[in-house]
Structure 1
Amino acid sequence: MADTRPKASPTRWARAVPPARLSPINQFKPKSMSYPAAQALPQPDRVVIINDSATAQGGSAVLALLLVELLRARGVPVTFIAGDTGDNPRLAEIGVDIVALGEVPLLGRGKLEALRKGIDNPAAREMVARFVAETDTPGTIYHVHSWAQIFSPSIFSALAPVAARTVVHAHDMFLACPNGVYMDFHHGLHCTRRPLSADCITTHCDKRSYPQKLWRVARQAALFRQFGQALPWAGIAMIHPGMTEPLQRAGYPAERLVTVRNPASPYTDHRIPAEENAGALFVGRVEPDKGVEDLIEAARAVDMPVSVVGEGPLRERLAAQHPEVTFVGWQDRAGIARQAAHARVLVMPSRFPEPFGLVAAEALMSGLPVIVTELSFLVDELRAGDLGLTYPPRDTAALAACLRQIKNKPVAEMRALSERARAAEIALKPDGWADAVMALYGKTLAASAA
């Protein structure tokens, strides 16, 4: 048989010091996953993390890099395949091998190149195919985090020979929905259509234009072909069980969907005494879809102070129009903690579905109750635990009513609410998350060997 391995070598290989032997993992059984005892599960020879960026730009990159840290702390050998230049000194510092494509995200390319490479990036396919052909072992796990900005759907055809040991993390809905969030942005409505159905294709739902939607449809069709479910992919790791139905609607089989809730840590080591505070806190992009304008309008109606942590296209205009609102820009965790220490409630007023809502989880773990729209996947947990309030998206009157209820809650009731939030198990702790991921790897290797 002819050697079909790609001959080109567009990558930068940074060979690190050989990692230490793997250390045993703790027994862990996530609520939504059923595994053998951890001691009985095989452990990977190496984990290959695949992500568009090697730096903390966006939620998927932050989690991918956190996972690398946690795996290396357990002695697991790691290779990081990056779509960008791979320039992250921390990776080399902790003994991670780096394979870098050296390209830029779609928005940093010329229009025609972005249109073409967003659907098919031959260099990415060749790089990953070559890596697999030259380095794969029966104990290697491949873990894809993000692919839409640089790698394109092409990497899945390169991973097809090792599909049985490839885990794909669904940090959002781009595996299913052309615009990634099941949202009809043109009409401001949550979408319940079947992806790539005639109804989907003919609906103008994109933020920019209908031609942009058709390009997204073409990319989605390429993804469905190259990530075809006839192949024995190891699994799709969902960050919340609420993602199950939308992914199944796109054709992903239920037995391939596994819930691994995101990790989160509280802003502070102690409970924030929300009952002593008065303001509402917003953490996120200052843009229309995040609903920050809805919060400002509702808070003004009930005379509640608002602090906004984050940057975005609306910040300058909103800061000029609303001098009563405190805009502090992007903050590190210590900066967010300082703002949260003076908050009575965190509000996540997103106008589109939020699969997890990390800021809400972190606020709850810190003792802050939260207010979210009914599109948030955390709605059921909030209601079941009485941890906050929900309202219909874009309904500023309903949001104002929620803020008024929180503002007027007696001290004892507010303290009890804060204490419930602090004690709630909304997210995994980082070590628990690593346990869950390692258990998924072990199950994958056991199934592959069988």
Structure 2
Amino acid sequence: MADRGRVLQLSTMVPPARFGGAESVVQAFAEQLCNAGFSVDNAGLTARGAAEPGTPIPNLYWPFDGHRRGAAARVGWHAIDALTLRGRSAVERVVDDFDPQVLVTHNLRGWGLAPWVVAQQRGIPLVHVVHDYGLLCNNSTLWHNGTECGPRQTACRLRASRAVSRWPGGLLVGVSEAVLAEHRRRRFGTADPCAVVHPVAAATAVGPRLPRSTAGVPTTFGYLGRLTAEKGVGELVEAISSIDATLIVAGEGDRSEVRALRARASDQVQWWGWTEPAKLFAAIDVLVVPSLWREPFGLVVVEAARAGVPVLVADQPGLLEAVRSSGALYRSYPANDAVALRNSMSESLQSYRQEPAQKSDVDIVDLVAGRIVGAGS
């Protein structure tokens, strides 16, 4: 197959690093582009002195080691990330080595906005994949201290304004229409072409589990993902204590937050830590995705659908897009409503419904090819 062009993907972390869905999307996009005849290189960051390959992070510390730093250190980290270009020389080295015809940026936490500056300086067509709210919010979630962050959040306002001013223009690709709409609402990328690519190909391949009952009230629920406040795990742990059922929690998080969650939990909760999806799905009747924040998509919904596991989801727009794009058997409830969550967990599986899976109109191959053609015209 002829070489259709060179594509460099930059992200905070790239496979085989394991942290969240973004790394899976980077890998899936790379595979799709390679299969279509593109040459692809993925470049990510790593902790200083780490054994694995990658660019040492050009910031104060590595933020993905499970340790929560003090307020002063966090403020300094975000100031360097949002307001300086300390990653510029590292980006230039990677670009010099690979000489890409298209630059695809993903989560840029740690790189800062240097990749955009280098792309603009060198005239490289740019595609930015919007996975979350990292361009608008220091937490990447638009969620602070138990509530959605608003326009008066000073730290986030600085990050968002710098992202708007540094963005050189290009193609914005959202993992959902919901996440793109939130960026447009906050004045990012309003003049740029946009596309939605639901990243169903990035979901872990999970074969159908052994058949379980499709009727009656579920007795075993599961949660799979990061153990953070905005994910709604605390509300789920409290809800299970009011019904006659078991909850299996599979995932990792900040050590202090996990300790606090476990202290609140009843004996009905089992804590499995990081777990392969297939193992959890084989043990549960329903997967619960109780997100309090505006979850952009939800690969775990797609994985559950592939395994034939019903899902109970908060009605966040991005989660509903994940349901529709995967054809999951599901039930939804009003987000941030603890009573509705508890009541929904007591409902029969016969109340769950299913719709045909809806595919994205375009994929990353179409979009990258269009950027190369556009640059050459």
**Both structures adopt the same fold (TM-score exceeding 0.5):** yes
Matched with 1:390 is 332
Give 1:315 deviation, angstroms.
3.3
- 2:29 aligned to which of 54, 67, 73: 67
1:126 matched to 2:126 = no
Matched with 2:196 is 259
Describe the SS at the equivalent of 2:118: helix
| Inter-partner Cα distance in structure 1 for 2:23 and 2:322 | 26
Matched with 1:10 is none
Give 1:179 deviation, angstroms.
4.5
Describe the SS at the equivalent of 2:363: helix
Q: Residue 387 of structure 1 aligns to which amino acid in structure 2?
A: L
Q: Residue 240 of structure 1 aligns to which amino acid in structure 2?
A: S
| Inter-partner Cα distance in structure 1 for 2:245 and 2:51 | 42
Matched with 1:364 is 305
Matched with 2:67 is none
Give 1:85 deviation, angstroms.
6.7
Greater shift, 284-293 or 314-323, is seen at 314-323
| Inter-partner Cα distance in structure 1 for 2:311 and 2:123 | 40
Give 1:289 deviation, angstroms.
1.8
Report the CA distance shift for 1:224/1:270 in structure 2 as closer, same or farther (over 3 A): same
Give 1:403 deviation, angstroms.
0.9
Matched with 1:28 is none
Matched with 1:330 is 274
Report the CA distance shift for 1:62/1:163 in structure 2 as closer, same or farther (over 3 A): farther
Judge conservation of contact 1:382–1:389 (CA < 8 Å) in 2: no
Describe the SS at the equivalent of 1:169: strand
Matched with 1:58 is 20
Describe the SS at the equivalent of 1:258: strand
Describe the SS at the equivalent of 1:302: coil
Number of residue pairs matched by the alignment: 356
Judge conservation of contact 1:51–1:82 (CA < 8 Å) in 2: yes
Question: Pairwise mapping of residues 101-250 of structure 1 onto structure 2 (< 5 A)?
Answer: 101-103=55-57, 107-108=61-62, 111=73, 114-129=77-92, 132=95, 136=99, 140-148=101-109, 150-162=110-122, 165-177=125-137, 179-183=139-143, 185-186=144-145, 188-190=146-148, 200=151, 203-204=152-153, 214-229=154-169, 233=170, 235-250=171-186
Question: Structure 1, unaligned stretches of length 5 or more?
Answer: 1-20, 24-42, 90-97, 194-199, 205-213
String of CA shifts for 1:256-290, please: whole Å, max 9, x gaps. Answer: 11101112245224565352763111011223221
Judge conservation of contact 2:125–2:375 (CA < 8 Å) in 1: yes
| Inter-partner Cα distance in structure 2 for 1:427 and 1:347 | 23
| Inter-partner Cα distance in structure 2 for 1:162 and 1:274 | 58
| Inter-partner Cα distance in structure 2 for 1:168 and 1:178 | 18
| Inter-partner Cα distance in structure 2 for 1:381 and 1:66 | 17
- Tell me the C-alpha RMSD between the 2 structures: 3.4
Q: Residue 174 of structure 1 aligns to which amino acid in structure 2?
A: G
Judge conservation of contact 1:260–1:437 (CA < 8 Å) in 2: yes
String of CA shifts for 1:220-270, please: whole Å, max 9, x gaps. Answer: 3222211144xxx1x111001222321222332365111011122452245
| Inter-partner Cα distance in structure 2 for 1:239 and 1:83 | 22
String of CA shifts for 1:131-181, please: whole Å, max 9, x gaps. Answer: 5467646xx111111212x11123211111455621111011223455433
Give 1:383 deviation, angstroms.
8.2
Matched with 1:438 is 365
Question: Pairwise mapping of residues 256-405 of structure 1 onto structure 2 (< 5 A)?
Answer: 256-262=193-199, 263=201, 264-270=203-209, 272-275=211-214, 278-312=219-253, 313-320=256-263, 321-331=265-275, 333=276, 336-379=277-320, 382=323, 387-405=329-347
Structure possessing the higher radius of gyration over alpha carbons: 1
Report the CA distance shift for 1:66/1:121 in structure 2 as closer, same or farther (over 3 A): farther
| Inter-partner Cα distance in structure 1 for 2:206 and 2:156 | 37
Report the CA distance shift for 1:447/1:151 in structure 2 as closer, same or farther (over 3 A): same
| Inter-partner Cα distance in structure 2 for 1:127 and 1:296 | 43
Question: Pairwise mapping of residues 393-432 of structure 1 onto structure 2 (< 5 A)?
Answer: 393-406=335-348, 409=349, 413=350, 420=354, 424-425=356-357
Describe the SS at the equivalent of 1:378: helix
Q: Residue 315 of structure 1 aligns to which amino acid in structure 2?
A: V
Give 1:388 deviation, angstroms.
1.8
| Inter-partner Cα distance in structure 2 for 1:367 and 1:294 | 25
Judge conservation of contact 2:305–2:328 (CA < 8 Å) in 1: no
Report the CA distance shift for 1:102/1:427 in structure 2 as closer, same or farther (over 3 A): farther
| Inter-partner Cα distance in structure 1 for 2:237 and 2:107 | 33
Judge conservation of contact 1:290–1:350 (CA < 8 Å) in 2: yes
Judge conservation of contact 2:289–2:312 (CA < 8 Å) in 1: yes
